[in-house]
Structure 1
Amino acid sequence: MADNSDEEKTEEPTQKRLEDAHKKGDVAKSQEVSAWFSMIGTGLALALFSGYIVTGLSTHLKGFFEHSYQLNLESGMLMRLWSEISYSLLGLMVLPMLAMMTMAVFGNLVQHKFVFSTEPITPKLSKISPLGGFKRLFSKDSLINFTKGLIKLAIVSVVLVLILYPQRDKLDVMIQLDVAMLLPLVLELSLQLVAGVIAIMTIVAVADFFYQKHKWMEKQKMSIKEIKDEFKQQEGDPTVKAKLRQLRMERSRGRMMAAVPDASVVLTNPTHYSVALKYDEGMGAPLCVAKGVDDVALRIRDVAKEADVPIVQNPALTRALYSTVEVDDEIPEEHYKAVAEVIGYIMKLKNRASWSNRNK
């Protein structure tokens, strides 16, 4: 039971999880939002270029329809005529098509920050598997998309009927109108239809955007085990880190013990703390070359005894130095006087011993 609960994806995704998904091209995206922007592009194209389109179509098609009975329908002539009409229509639709394409691309970019990834289009066996395709075809997402498409189609159909039904009288006589009069009427109806569809698509797009965002966040949720694994990858395995920290401490302690024989004096409290200080002529202040508590303190005293380094008991000064100075740092200025007295005392003892040895 515990293992199964750990595998449940109940935790909010980490920032790294979201960034990794983005790098793979896995982003929250609503097709309805893209379709809405495409419709906006269509509406803008009709509104901005309507005069240009109507004038151009009237010019190119008026003569065609008025003199259609005089056309030479031989194969070569028909192909040439069709090419001329196609190029004319293409020239008229370039700007509107660019506007619609631009809005469609913007509709994708506005939903998430820019991402370039080839992973979504990378061939995978699971994508071409008949069983996998069958599962996707009858999956929950497919059912939701199918239902959503039916609802959207029904709503748009109702809107189209509501817009076109009041115009039914005009529709009856449209076939009898001149091209110059027909095109403005068609454009007017087209704008009304696009406006109605955009109004409905706005509601659909907003609802679908939040649904897709929620669905994507649910997909990115993580299990407790995944969060722990990610933490280990980012911060390192705690066991390994503890081992490395132990190795660094042992190496540091080894270097510290190697410096004790060169110390001028070792201060103790006398059982729990030890601080080894070194002072030579020309130094600005005494230097702490080793310090420790309990076992380390005992080891410092043992090494000092073996190397004949003087050991002085001064509990208050020892504890104060241990708390305020780090290894390889000079002692703080407030301890200069107390340490100077200790070192001065040690130097006097050495001078006396040296004088006694010379007189023997």
Structure 2
Amino acid sequence: MGSFTVCTASWRVLRRGNNSCCYKLNSFDLQLFNGEKTEEATPKRKSEARKKGQVAKSTEISGVFVILAAFFTLKLLGTTVYNELSRYMTGIFSGIFTADITIQTVQLLFWNVILVMFKTVLPILLVIMVISVFVNFMQVGAMFSTEVLMPNFSKINPITGFQRLFSKRSLVELAKAIFKVCIIGYFIYRFAIVQTADIPRLISMDLTDSLRLTGSLIIDLAFNIIAVMLILAVFDYFYQWWEHNESLKMSKEEVKEEFKQTEGNPQIKSKIKEKQRAIAMRRMMQEIPKADVVVTNPTHLAIALKYEKRMSAPVVIGKGQDFLAERIKQVAREHKVVVVENKPLARALYPVVDIGDVVPPELYQAVAEVLAYVYRLKKRLS
């Protein structure tokens, strides 16, 4: 038996020796078969994705502004929060050993806790909520989609989940997280080195000053970290926008198919137009017997005119050229409608009027002469 060798060049068979041959494969462009998505998403594709809740959105942007709002509000209301908490704690610890433990005192303690939380925490939570809604609105606009709330059992499929775990998106998110931790860690380290001289002073301070200095250092550190996170979040937003557009890209075949669905299949549209023309032609031919005169070229053009006293000017009820012109003249003769040969008038009328239009004023005189001739002819024949 001869030996077979597979090569990547052509499908030609080359004989070597007695029975051995070499099959060679032609190289070809795989892009012709894999439906590579190279076309920008159409407005319809983007609209459908938006209805499904698929939009370009960066959670980093939302998170950074929420943290910034929280610390900024805390910085503004820090003194008020501190005084409120210290007053509450002082009252609690000064009377905890003298008050009788009853249901009423426990209820009073509970409502005092609620009141303090309302005064200290609620303003910060309200600011965070408003900023969060505003930032998300600025990213995606007004959008409400119920599809993201529908259960999707493919998300709990272990095979699909394993594939998502090692997908390109997951690797990018992992790289972003590692990079963010390294950058933020470096800034924390640098801030700690700079503030090393102030930390020993906490030992010699009283509790109030020590807490105030500690809070100030924490807020300064937070703003430094937020500044770094904001820069990273801007880059993340542009990446999410790019990645979203890439995910919506379409293949040439998808664009063609969508065009067919949106605009209709060209063959079907052609048949519809053909039927519409046929219906319009039948309707026009039914009106020809009502015409007063048919003006001809005499062989290439034919225009059927009708005039009644209630009309402001004669009306075109039919027109055609070549074969259709012959058909109009034939129907006119069958129904004893006068056919008048007038080349200048036919050539002047045909390009400026459509079926249902009145004769333009500049052609009133010429049309009136033709109609007068027709009326005299009919009067003589009658």
TM-score bracket for this pair, using the shorter chain length? 0.7 to 0.9
1:209 is aligned to 237
Matched, 1:57 2:85: yes
* Amino acid across the alignment from 1:50: G
Greater percentage in helix: 1
Q: TM-score, normalised by structure 1?
A: 0.87
The residue number in structure 2 matching 1:37 is 65
Any unmatched runs of 5+ in structure 1? 355-360
Offset, 1:80: 8.2
Query: Alignment identity in percent?
Result: 39
Q: C-alpha separation between the residues in 2 aligned to 1:173 and 1:88?
A: 35
2:182 to 154, 164, 168: 154
* SS in structure 2 of the partner of residue 328 of structure 1: coil
Give the structure 2 partner of residue 90 of structure 1: 117
Contact 1:268–1:275 at 8 Å: present in 2 too? yes
Deviation by residue 1:80-129 (Cα, 9 ceiling, x = unmatched): 89958854763322212322233233332221212111212211121111
2:156 is aligned with 1:128: yes
Aligned to 2:216: 188
Equivalent residue, structure 1, for 2:264: 236
1:279 correspondence with 2:321:
no
Aligned to 1:358: none
User: Do the aligned partners of residues 207 and 288 (structure 1) sit closer, same or farther apart at CA in structure 2, a change above 3 Å counting?
Assistant: same
1:172 shift after superposition: 4.9
Contact 1:288 1:330 in 2 (8 A): yes
| Deviation, structure 1 residue 240 | 2.3
Decide whether the 8 Å contact of 1:62 with 1:180 is kept in 2: no
Q: Which residue of 1 aligns with 2:43?
A: 15
Question: 1: CA distance between counterparts of 2:283 and 2:107?
Answer: 94
Cα pair distance change 1:138/1:83, threshold 3 Å: farther
User: Letter of the aligned partner of 1:215 in structure 2?
Assistant: E
Aligned to 1:119: 147
Q: Structure 1: how far apart are the matches of 2:318 and 2:34? A: 47
Higher RCO (C-alpha 8 Å, min separation 6): 1
Secondary structure of the corresponding residue to residue 323 of structure 1:
coil
TM norm structure 2: 0.82
> Counterparts in 2 of 1:1-360, with a 5 A limit?
4=32, 7-62=35-90, 87=114, 90-91=117-118, 92-168=120-196, 170-172=198-200, 174=202, 177-354=205-382
Q: CA deviation at 1:57?
A: 2.7
Separation in structure 2 between the aligned mates of residue 177 and residue 85 of structure 1, nearest angstrom: 31
Distance in 2 between the 1:282 and 1:122 partners? 66
Deviates more, 1:196-205 or 1:12-21: 12-21
Task: Give the superposition deviation at 1:274.
Answer: 0.8
- Please state how far the C-alpha of 1:241 moved relative to its aligned partner: 2.1
Size of the aligned set, in residue pairs, is: 352
Q: Which amino acid aligns with 1:274?
A: A
Note the alpha carbon deviations across 1:166-206, whole angstroms, 9 max, x for none: 43455456477543223212210121111111121121011
For the structure 1 residues 56 and 28, does the alpha-carbon distance in structure 2 shift closer, same or farther, using more than 3 Å as the test? same
- Deviation larger for 23-32 or 95-104: 95-104
Match of 1:291, SS state, is strand
| 33-42 or 92-101: bigger deviation | 92-101
1:349–1:169 CA distance, 2 compared to 1 (3 A):
closer
For residues 7 and 152 of structure 1, do their structure 2 counterparts lie closer, same or farther at Cα, with a shift above 3 Å needed?
Answer: same
Measure, in 2, the Cα distance between the counterparts of 1:12 and 1:196: 39
After TM superposition, the structure 1 stretch with the greater mean CA deviation from structure 2, 106-115 or 205-214, is 106-115
Secondary structure in structure 2 of the residue aligned to 1:266: strand
